[in-house]
């Protein structure tokens, strides 16, 4: 028994959208505007849903979702596989282009020099390099095809795909081809690049940690060699020949230079920028430690008074850099910095003096006429001039709900037209529209405060003050007695106090938590987010799309898939009923035409029946349209049959009585089933998920024990009672909140000294997500859009939110304990140092041991804790 999806089932879209090449309108949404971002955990879950008898692609062997591509009786998962199969099957002949690029005037704007100038990465007058985002890339054939583009267009010199980031970088000869031709080729192959406003911003995603690897490599190399060269001195008891000893010392000195002047530059820079802002961050004592270690060792080596502490210094830098690497667990395919520009089109068709042309949206001015076709996004606030508007504001509110409009109506930017083309007159420029002006707010202009942990900075301040105090005390004690020992003792204090373990505790503890969260499908941007989560006091929840399901996402048909004819019949019947479930089914079949129904009848508490094209159809409760044994047979194959498994609870059926409001609300917790039978034979059922996400009410209950919980909604307050019913009367609810209101609300709470966690999903939450101390974007499929945020949470794991927050708090406790260990080690070191008796070998043992203890303590305790709480 297979499950077939209707087009609204979001998890199925996740799978099928990038593969389908017969672009249905809904697939086209994904193709045009979303960036595929399977995080590692999502990618593994793909295999689980593969049903046993799914057909597989004849070329790559992947299971086929949706319709696939059929040619000569062979079924392919995507156009890429079909093209590759064709090329391979006639490898003797010249691989005549299977697909000829079609000229498409949609891409005419790509001929404009201004657009080319901003899209390209590099040009020397003959060769141009450009990177496109190609979210449709999903299998090895896609990679092969995209890397063999030269077979189709000899002007393309070289192309290289990045599978995880879903990008392709290519170089083409300007004499032989144009940017427009390249894009048209990609589009006709089924890989239309995602050209959004964001593409105009120069290359936002170049990885900065490439230099981090080099720094670690160099620091590790120098550290290892310096250690080996220091061993003779440590273990020979002074029996090394003076000539060799001096040679070793100078080689050590030479090896330490790249570590000080290249590998540790980041710490100097961070300390300097901190001091300029009059903040003593944790990098200040680290930088001081490195400098003192280096200068003291330099003086020792050159003055031949000792062998120096270069091994400790390079080891310190090496460990710190590894901590930095650990802290930045990156999710290649996730993007946390999106603004509206990631979703808005690059260009739009406009009509001037009767002729149509495509212009970049940035050059739209009030008064311009633009043409928006099916599935295109309205890029600016406008007034409808002609055509029937059916605008889906799903991108803005997070809920797919179509709003219709007639000429004269105002259409806000961010809506997506569903249906025939409409003509609009621009009222406001793109950046000044109702939605987009949110990004002019100060919250989006403030530079991020570096990626320094606030906790370690706060401790670092006292720590720095403390060691200076000890150093001054040591100096005051020794100077009157012995100036040489004073210099020894003071530098030794500063060396041993270098907060290596302190600086490692934070990245390893929060970095471990970051990985634990990643396994639980909460993808945090960096380790600092975990720390911010640990100090949250207020949790603000968006309503639409966060507490509720994203529109229509929860409907699917269980049973053998319905044929097109059957879908038409079902739609024709349900369109006559006004019951909410009938409406949901009707909306899910929006592409099918409707036919007249004979003998329609509606039976309260049972269902609806009628005859369409000679076929007798029943849609309704199990008793009315299903059969008990049928239910029993399919129970095992239905993954969401929790309601049916509970014998005390009858499967919720379609109700056609006017039940009291509250009762319907409680029922909507679980999924409901609507059975379908044709000519008396049961065919299967629609599973309709409840309006509210499962586990929301218990989550709010648990959260309220520790946090202030609030709900912000952009909707009117018609659901106030339903929400009160669900969460209890004392959860503050705020309705009619505009995107700017939400931002202001969060900012206001923060001014009162609150740390705010915002959970939202749509672009209308983008301001609040950005302003909040932690903004978590909720998404049901990670291929869909998510606004700029600190973390992305899979919708199904929302009930775990309190677990994550309490784990973040535990991580903070572990960090504080690690600090205590680190301070204990430092005290031992200081007891040597103040006496002027810190020999290089004591420093060389103490430093790595303290670092390893702290790192092991932080990561092992947190892993054990995560396992105990069921997070791992």
Q: Which is nearer to another protein, 22 or 90 (CB)?
A: 90
The answer to whether 241 contacts another protein (rule: CB under 8 A) is: yes
**Can you state the angle between helices 527-534 and 454-478, rounded to 10 degrees?**
90
Q: How far is the CB of 866 from another protein (least distance, A)?
A: 25
Residue 91 touches another protein, criterion: CB under 8 A:
yes
* Vertex 303 angle, CA 300 and 308, to 5°: 15
442 binds another protein (CB under 8 A): no
Q: Do the Cβ atoms of 559 and 570 come closer than 8 Å?
A: no
Q: Which stretch binds another protein (CB under 8 A): 205-213, 468-476, 549-557, 779-787?
A: 205-213
Q: Which of residues 206-225 bind another protein (CB under 8 A)?
A: 207, 210, 213-214, 217-218, 221, 224-225
Sequential DSSP letters for 799-826: GGHHHHHHHHHHHHHHHHHHHHHHHHHH
Nearer to another protein, 210 or 868 (CB): 210
| CA pair distance 134, 152, nearest whole angstrom | 18
What SS3 state is found at 156? strand
Shortest reach from residue 766's CB to another protein, in Å: 29
Task: Tell the burial category of 97 from Cβ atoms under 10 Å away from its Cβ (0-12, 13-18, 19+).
Answer: middle
Minimum Å gap between C-beta 619 and another protein is 46
Two structure tokens written together for 244: 């060799």
Q: Which of 6, 115, 161, 814 binds another protein (CB under 8 A)?
A: 161
Using CA atoms, how far apart are residues 453 and 799, in angstroms rounded to an integer?
28
102 phi, psi to nearest 5 deg: -100, 140
Least distance to another protein, CB of residue 708, Å: 42
Closest distance of CB 97 from another protein, Å: 13
Nearest to 731 by CA among 706, 700, 776, 752: 700
Q: What is the contact mask toward another protein in residues 263 to 302, using x (rule: CB under 8 A)?
A: ----------------------------------------
Interface with another protein: number of residues (CB under 8 A): 35
Q: Does 143 bind another protein (CB under 8 A)?
A: yes
Task: Give the one residue of 51, 104, 121, 247 binding another protein; rule: CB under 8 A.
Answer: 247
Q: Which residue, 328, 335, 334, 415, is CA-closest to 380? A: 415
CB of 164 to another protein, least distance (A): 5
41 contributes a contact to another protein by CB under 8 A: no
Q: Is 865 helix (H, G, I), strand (E, B) or coil?
A: helix
Give the range of 240-248, 472-480, 818-826, 837-845 binding another protein by CB under 8 A.
240-248
176 lies in the site for another protein, by CB under 8 A = no
Tell me which DSSP letter residue 546 carries.
I
* CA atoms within 13 A of residue 310's CA, in its CB half-sphere: 34
Contact 762, 397 (CB under 8 A): yes
CB of 601 to another protein, least distance (A): 57
Closest approach, Cβ 309 to another protein, in A, equals 21
Residue pointed to by tokens 């291929």: 783
Shortest gap between Cβ of 317 and another protein (angstroms)?
16
Using CB under 8 A, which residues numbered 102 to 141 contact another protein? 140
Site for another protein, residues 604 to 643, rule: CB under 8 A: none
Q: How far apart are CB 137 and another protein at their closest, in Å?
A: 10
Maximum C-alpha span of the chain: 111
Rounded least distance, CB 135 to another protein, Å: 15
Stretch that binds another protein, among 241-249, 363-371, 400-408, 639-647 (CB under 8 A): 241-249
Among positions 144, 444, 600, 678, the unique one binding another protein when judged by CB under 8 A: 144
Which residue, 136 or 436, has its beta carbon nearer to another protein?
A: 136
Q: How far is the CB of 134 from another protein (least distance, A)?
A: 13
**Minimum distance of another protein from residue 500's CB (angstroms):** 24
Binding span for another protein by CB under 8 A among 17-25, 87-95, 352-360, 829-837: 87-95
Binding test (CB under 8 A) with another protein, winner from 67, 112, 174, 332? 332
H or E segment to which residue 151 belongs: none
CB of 60 to another protein, least distance (A): 10
Placement of tokens 């600092």 in the chain: 528
The answer to whether residues 582 and 608 touch, using CB atoms and an 8 Å cutoff, is yes
List the structure tokens of 810: 């535990």
DSSP letter (8 states) at residue 466: H
Indicate which single residue of 23, 163, 268, 487 sits in contact with another protein (rule: CB under 8 A): 163
Q: For the sheet with 382-386, list strands across it.
A: 355-360, 347-352, 369-372, 422-426, 382-386, 410-411
Cα distance between residue 564 and residue 590, in whole Å: 12
How far is Cα 358 from Cα 820, in angstroms, rounded to an integer? 64
HSE-up of residue 593 (Cα within 13 Å, Cβ side): 3
Stretch that binds another protein, among 155-163, 676-684, 845-853, 864-872 (CB under 8 A): 155-163
Do 139 and 38 contact (CB within 8 A), yes or no? no
One of 52, 53, 73, 94 touching another protein (CB under 8 A): 94
For residues 76 and 58, is the Cβ–Cβ distance under 8 A?
yes
Comparison of 172 and 807: residue with beta carbon closer to another protein: 172
Considering the rule CB under 8 A, would residue 160 count as an interface residue with another protein? yes
Nearest to 778 by CA among 770, 767, 765: 765
Which of 147, 174, 725, 754: binder of another protein (CB under 8 A)? 147
Written as one string, the DSSP assignment of 214-247 is HHHHHHHHHHHHHHHHHHHHHHTTS-S-HHHHHH
Match 């005549």 to its residue by tokens. 96
262 binds another protein (CB under 8 A): no
CB of 87 or CB of 490, closer to another protein: 87
Q: From the CB of 216, what's the least distance to another protein, in Å?
A: 9
> With binding defined as CB under 8 A, does residue 261 bind another protein?
no
> What's the DSSP call for residue 871?
-
Q: CA 511, CA 503: separation in Å to the nearest integer?
A: 13
Q: Toward another protein, which CB reaches closer, 62 or 368?
A: 62
Can you read off the two tokens belonging to residue 466?
């403390």
Query: Which is closer to another protein, CB of 165 or CB of 512?
Result: 165
Binding site for another protein (CB under 8 A): 87, 91-92, 94-95, 140, 143-144, 147, 150-151, 157-165, 207, 210, 213-214, 217-218, 221, 224-225, 229, 241, 244, 247, 251, 332
């Amino acid at each position: 028994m297979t499950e077939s999806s209707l087009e609204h089932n979001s998890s199925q879209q996740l799978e099928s959208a990038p593969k389908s090449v017969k672009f249905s309108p809904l697939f086209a949404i994904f193709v045009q505007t979303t960036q595929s971002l399977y995080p590692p955990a999502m990618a593994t879950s793909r295999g689980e849903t593969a049903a046993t008898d799914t057909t597989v692609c004849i070329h790559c062997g992947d299971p086929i979702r949706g319709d696939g591509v059929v040619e000569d009786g062979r079924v392919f998962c995507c156009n890429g596989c079909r093209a590759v199969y064709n090329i391979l099957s006639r490898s003797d002949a010249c691989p005549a282009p299977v697909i000829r690029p079609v000229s498409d005037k949609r891409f005419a704007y790509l001929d404009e020099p201004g657009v080319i100038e901003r899209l390209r990465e590099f040009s020397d007058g003959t060769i141009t390099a450009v990177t496109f985002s190609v979210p449709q890339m999903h299998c090895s054939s896609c990679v092969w095809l995209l890397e063999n583009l030269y077979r189709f267009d000899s002007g393309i010199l070289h192309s290289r795909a990045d599978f995880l980031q879903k990008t392709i970088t290519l170089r083409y000869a300007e004499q032989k081809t144009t940017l427009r031709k390249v894009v048209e080729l990609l589009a006709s192959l089924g890989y239309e690049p995602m050209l959004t406003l964001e593409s105009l911003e120069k290359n936002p995603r170049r990885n900065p940690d490439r230099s981090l690897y080099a720094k670690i490599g160099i620091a590790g190399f120098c550290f290892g060699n310096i250690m080996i060269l220091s061993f003779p001195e440590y273990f020979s008891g002074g029996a090394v020949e003076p000539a060799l000893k001096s040679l070793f010392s100078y080689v050590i000195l030479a090896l330490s230079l790249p570590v000080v002047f290249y590998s540790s530059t980041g710490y100097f820079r961070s300390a300097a920028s901190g001091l300029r802002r009059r903040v003593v961050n944790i990098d200040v004592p680290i930088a001081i430690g490195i400098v003192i270690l280096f200068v003291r060792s330099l003086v020792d080596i050159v003055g031949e008074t000792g062998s120096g502490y270069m091994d400790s210094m390079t080891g310190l830098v090496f460990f710190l850099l590894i901590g930095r690497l650990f802290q930045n667990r990156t999710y290649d395919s996730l993007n946390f910095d999106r603004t509206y520009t990631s979703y808005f089109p690059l260009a739009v068709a406009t009509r001037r003096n009767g002729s149509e042309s495509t212009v970049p949206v940035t050059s739209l001015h009030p008064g311009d006429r633009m043409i928006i076709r099916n599935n295109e996004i309205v890029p600016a606030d406008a007034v409808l001039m002609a055509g029937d508007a059916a605008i889906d504001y799903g991108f803005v509110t997070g809920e797919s709900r179509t709003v219709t409009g007639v000429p004269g109506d105002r259409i806000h930017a961010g809506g997506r037209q569903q249906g025939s083309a409409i003509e609009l007159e621009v009222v406001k420029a793109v950046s000044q529209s109702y939605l987009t002006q949110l990004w002019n707010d100060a919250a989006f202009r403030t530079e991020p405060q570096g990626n320094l942990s606030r906790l370690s900075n706060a401790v670092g301040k006292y720590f720095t003050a403390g060691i200076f105090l000890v150093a001054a005390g040591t100096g005051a004690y020794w100077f009157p007695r012995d100036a040489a020992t004073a210099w020894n003792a003071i530098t030794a204090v500063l060396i041993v106090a270098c907060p290596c373990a302190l600086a490692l505790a934070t990245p390893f503890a929060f970095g471990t938590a970051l990985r634990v969260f990643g396994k639980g499908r909460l993808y945090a941007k960096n380790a600092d987010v975990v720390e911010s989560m640990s100090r949250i006091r207020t949790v603000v929840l968006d309503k639409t799309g966060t507490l509720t399901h994203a529109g229509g996402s929860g409907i699917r048909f269980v049973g053998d898939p319905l044929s097109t004819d059957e879908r038409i019949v079902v739609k024709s019947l349900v369109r006559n009923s006004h019951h909410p479930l009938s409406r949901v089914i009707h909306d899910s079949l929006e592409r099918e035409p409707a036919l007249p129904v004979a003998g329609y009848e509606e039976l309260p508490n049972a269902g609806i029946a009628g005859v369409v094209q000679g076929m007798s159809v029943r849609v309704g409760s199990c008793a009315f349209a299903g059969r008990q044994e049928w239910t029993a047979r399919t129970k095992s194959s239905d993954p969401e049959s929790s309601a049916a498994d509970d014998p005390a609870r009858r499967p919720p059926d379609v109700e056609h009585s006017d039940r009291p409001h509250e009762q319907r609300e409680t029922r909507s917790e679980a999924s409901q089933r609507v059975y379908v039978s044709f000519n008396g034979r049961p065919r299967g059922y629609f599973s309709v998920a409840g309006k509210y996400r499962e586990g929301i009410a218990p989550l709010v209950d648990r959260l309220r024990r520790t946090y202030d919980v609030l709900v912000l909604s952009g909707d009117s307050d018609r659901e106030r009672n339903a929400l009160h019913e669900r969460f209890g009367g004392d959860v503050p609810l705020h309705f009619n909140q505009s995107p700017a209101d939400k931002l202001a609300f969060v900012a206001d709470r923060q001014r009162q000294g609150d740390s705010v966690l915002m959970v939202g999903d749509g672009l209308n939450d983008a301001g609040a997500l950005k302003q909040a101390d932690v903004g978590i974007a909720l998404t049901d499929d990670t291929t869909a859009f998510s606004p700029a945020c600190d973390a992305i949470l899979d919708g199904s794991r929302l009930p775990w939110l309190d677990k994550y927050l309490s784990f973040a708090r535990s991580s903070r406790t572990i960090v504080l304990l690690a600090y205590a260990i680190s301070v204990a080690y430092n005290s031992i070191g200081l007891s040597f140092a103040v006496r002027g008796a810190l020999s290089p070998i004591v420093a060389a043992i103490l430093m790595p041991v303290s670092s390893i203890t702290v790192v092991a303590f932080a990561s092992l305790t947190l892993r054990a804790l995560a396992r105990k709480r069921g997070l791992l």
